[in-house]
Amino acid sequence: MTTIGILLAIPEPYGGELRARRAAYGDTQARTVPAHVTLLPPTEVEPEAVPRIERHLAAIAARGRPFTMRLRGTGTFRPVSQVVFVRVERGLLECVELEAQMRSGLLERELQFPYHPHVTVAHDLGPAALDAAEGDLADFEAEFEINGFGLYRLDQHGSWRAVRTFPFPAPVRAAA
C-alpha cells in the first residue's frame, strides 16, 4: 500500500511563513508537511491504482477553474481535536466542491470529521502552544490565486512529497 493525499499548496511567501510559524510553536509536522488546504486526507491505496487515480484527478482539474483564496484569522477544533488553524475566508465553496469531487469513485471514503477547509498551524501540542498559535496568527491575512491542486505521497521517511500537479485550465478571455 501507498499513502496519498491531495491538497492545495499555499504559495510563497505565505506557505513558508506559516510553516516557519508552525515550527516555532514546536509542531514537528512543520518539517514534513507543507502548508496546505487538504482536499483528500491521507488515504491508503494500492500502488497499481495510482494511474487510475491520476486520470480521476486530471478529469476533475479539467472541469475546474482558477479561484482566489483568502486566508484570514484563526480558528480551532478544540476540544474535539487539538488543532489551531488559519481560516479560509474566500475560496471556501470552491474547496468544498473540489473535495466532494475528489472523494468520489475510486477515492470514495468516509471522513473522521466533516470537511472544513483550513490551514493547520499547530497540531497535538500543549495548551500554551495552541493558545500562542491562535493569538499570534489572529491577524494573519493572505490572498492569492489557486490554479490547481497536487497529488502527494507519504515517503518512507514520513515526509509528504509532491507526485504531480493538476492545473486548472486558464480562464477564457473575451475578445476585445
Other C-beta atoms lying within 10 Å of the C-beta of residue 75: 15
Cβ 138 vs Cβ 159: under 8 Å:
no
pLDDT confidence bin for 15, thresholds 50/70/90:
very high
Q: What is the pLDDT of residues 36-65, one digit of tens each?
A: 999 999 999 999 999 999 999 999 999 999
Q: Assess if residue 66 is contained within a domain.
A: yes
What ranges make up the beta strands (E) of the chain? Answer: 2-9, 36-45, 67-76, 83-90, 118-123, 141-146, 148-154, 160-167
Cis amide leading into 13 (omega within 30):
yes
User: How many residues are present in the chain?
Assistant: 176
Is 174 a domain residue? no
| Domain count for the chain | 1
Over residues 141-160, the pLDDT tens digits come to: 999 999 999 999 999 988 99
C-alpha cell at 39: 482536499
Q: Return the CATH number at 11.
A: 3.90.1140.10
pLDDT bracket for residue 100 (50, 70, 90): very high
* Owning domain of residue 21: 2-167
- pTM to 2 decimal places: 0.92
Residue 172 lies in a domain: no
Contact 151, 56 (CB under 8 A): no
User: Which residue's C-alpha cell is 481560516?
Assistant: 87
